[in-house]
Structure 1
């Protein structure tokens, strides 16, 4: 017969068989994001003196956006992981207490009498063999519990110290956006295909009642003095273009909204103040308010093709300018969330921070086509 202490040890080890540890490292991801934000701060200082300030500051804004996105994701994963560990440890309180009791007993009294068995030498030998088998398992499980407790402490400390990092990152991103807006306003080296005729544009707007009608008329619009500037053939890049903003697809082409209205373009969810850039080199054919779409930017990568980007709070550039791929063309609206709100969302394990919507339509000739034939999106999302 096995002694009760050994049976207890076997029962504890079995009951505490730990599930596989997470392959990801939420704490490491959050720290890496914080380092990314610090690097963006350094880059902002250097970009102010750059010869190509627009390009440099565009990179800085993107770096801040990526760093803040990564930090939010890291904090969210950290909160989820901490909750999982806390729940796991709480559910095993009784077993852990038994484990600690057995280990404490083994550690306090190592006298030979502890190894004597009522059945004599054979029983003692058997008990010794069982103890030799069980002790490493107990020590392994104790080490696992200790790691879990240490991880909980690290994750909680990380979340508590994230407020200052978030605040600095949000402030840095705003400063970078302001510097970028100023640099775009000050630039003088952008090539132009033509100069806008504001009267002609106003008449065009007045004569159309839909975005489709406006875009179709724009295709036919003949502008005096339009010069030819060779742009790369964009047709060979169908399906490979990046979206002009980091976003999640809310509605695809032809999907009805809550009111039952369908549109031929994509509706994207973005974060407040997100930077929107030109997906290809293109001519700005229109920029400004249009109907009920807010500020609209219409880009022409080559004759007969239009990219319509609607719902911007700010638009950059002037009609007739030819902008390189990746050039900022606008900013989304909204306000950056407060640090407390970000931390609250993270602690709740949610990421509902994409509060702004952007509409993208692609037109070949006078007909709209599914933007997903041009842009890379998560078609399963």
Structure 2
């Protein structure tokens, strides 16, 4: 199952709210089935990575669907409330007419001609009443469907939250058990410590990465330069701050900040070598990947990082998890109502993404798919 790197919910933004919610429910159902199959897959890491991303996409779509269903129900409720007097009059008229809106012919004192004219007038009024009654029935039926969807969405969300937690736990264990990754070099921990202690900037650290490797051997990976602009983003999220935009403290960085949900999975966008993983400066936990000589992908702000320096990853391999706490069902539902990209406790997790070529910062918008306006 292919999963988009940035929010998939936008793809359903133009669809009917009820259809979007049902489609999201099917995504979660499919991810649940995938989780069972992944436990026995030959490559459990790859299968569980795909399953985790599928759960994340399904939950994001369900949140968006739930928000849109709630918004549509509120829209209908406001419309009905604004027409209370008109609806009461319509119902009263229909009751007088027998409740069916059928024309009733009254004898007119002026004789047959008057009777015919009055019948035509009543027929015209009746048709208008029937149209209004049909619209009212449609609105009320839609409200009923939307409320039923909200109830079923809560069950699906609960299943999805349990599923994604189980998938992450199984994935972390599978990554820990993996021993078959090829290695490009062996990290020298002493040189790594010295490099960290002696550098004050990300650029200075990146320029010294070659010094912390031992027994490095040539390794041919598929070149990524030709994929520039079409490389999948490393995490399911949305752009919060672009390259060159100052943050709240006025600090300007060349990378992009992505807002993610709590515990979101971060993956390697391409085949790459892990050049460094661990805490660095004020960036939190950092993963630095080298997809080809001279190019570095820097992902900073992770809570958990997988693998070791020197490991060679395939495209889509997991590299870590974001921080935060998984939302409970009530938080997810209220979050869905607001449509905000926040965690259950109202706080966004953020991943900083930087691209360096020949140690010169590049604009990530020009490298990763879906980051441009």
**TM-score, L = length of structure 1:** 0.88
How far is 1:317 from its partner?
A: 1.2
Matched with 1:377 is 370
2:198 paired with 1:215: no
User: Which one has the largest radius of gyration?
Assistant: 1
- 1:249·1:268 contact (CA, 8 Å) conserved in 2? yes
How far apart are residue 118 of structure 1 and its match?
Answer: 4.6
Alpha carbons 1:26, 1:78 under 8 Å: kept: yes
Partner Cα distance (1:26, 1:112) in 2: 37
Counterpart of 1:57 in structure 2 is: 48
- Report the more deviating stretch, 132-141 or 284-293: 132-141
TM-score, normalised on structure 2?
Answer: 0.90
Partner of residue 294 from structure 2, selected from 300, 304, 318: 304
**Distance of 2:52 and 2:171 partners within structure 1:** 8
Residue 87 of structure 1, aligned match among 34, 56, 78:
78
Distance 1:107 1:313 in 2: 68
Q: Distance in 2 between matches of 1:290 and 1:378?
A: 25
| Aligned CA-pair RMSD | 2.2
| Residue of structure 2 in register with 1:104 after alignment | 95
Q: Is the 8 A contact 1:76 1:351 kept in 2?
A: no
Deviations 1:253-294 (A, max 9, x none): 110111111000001100111111111111100001111111
The equivalent of 2:285 in structure 1 is 295
Is the deviation greater in 246-255 or in 349-358?
349-358
Q: How far has the Cα of 1:313 moved from its partner?
A: 0.4
- Aligned counterpart for 1:238 among listed residues 205, 209, 228: 228
Among candidates 222, 237, 243, match of residue 247 of structure 1:
237
- Give the corresponding residue for 2:358: 365
1:156 match: secondary structure: helix
**Contact persistence 2:188–2:212 (CA under 8 A):** no
For residues 4-50 of structure 1, the C-alpha deviation after alignment (integer angstroms, 9 at most, x for no partner) is xxxxxxxxxxxxxxxxxx97422232222223212212211111111
Aligned partners of 1:282 and 1:83: how far apart in 2?
48
Listed as ranges, the matches of 1:154-233 within 5 Å are: 154-218=145-209, 220-221=210-211, 223-233=213-223
Once the two structures are superposed, residues 175-197 of structure 1 have per-residue CA deviations (whole angstroms, 9 ceiling, x without a partner) of: 10010011111112211111111
Gaps of 5+ in 2: 1-12
- What is the distance in 1 between the residues matched to 2:317 and 2:227? 18
Off by >6 Å, runs of 4+ in structure 1: 108-113
Report if the CA contact (8 A) 2:103-2:119 is conserved. no
Q: Contact 1:249–1:377 at 8 Å: present in 2 too? A: no
Stretch of structure 1 that moved more, 61-70 or 27-36: 27-36
1:72 aligns with 2:73: no
Taking structure 1 as reference, are residues 263 and 89 closer, same or farther at Cα in structure 2, changes over 3 Å only?
Answer: same
Counterpart in 2 of 1:316?
306
Total equivalences in the alignment: 357
Residues 256 and 352, structure 2, Cα contact 8 Å, conserved in 1: yes
Moved more, 108-117 or 52-61: 108-117
Give, in angstroms, the shift of residue 119 of structure 1: 4.6
Matched, 1:37 2:28: yes
How far residue 164 of structure 1 moved from its aligned partner, in angstroms, is 3.0
| Distance in structure 2 (CA, Å) of the matches to 1:145 and 1:113 | 22
Residue of 82, 87, 106 corresponding to 1:115: 106
3-state DSSP of counterpart to 2:372: coil
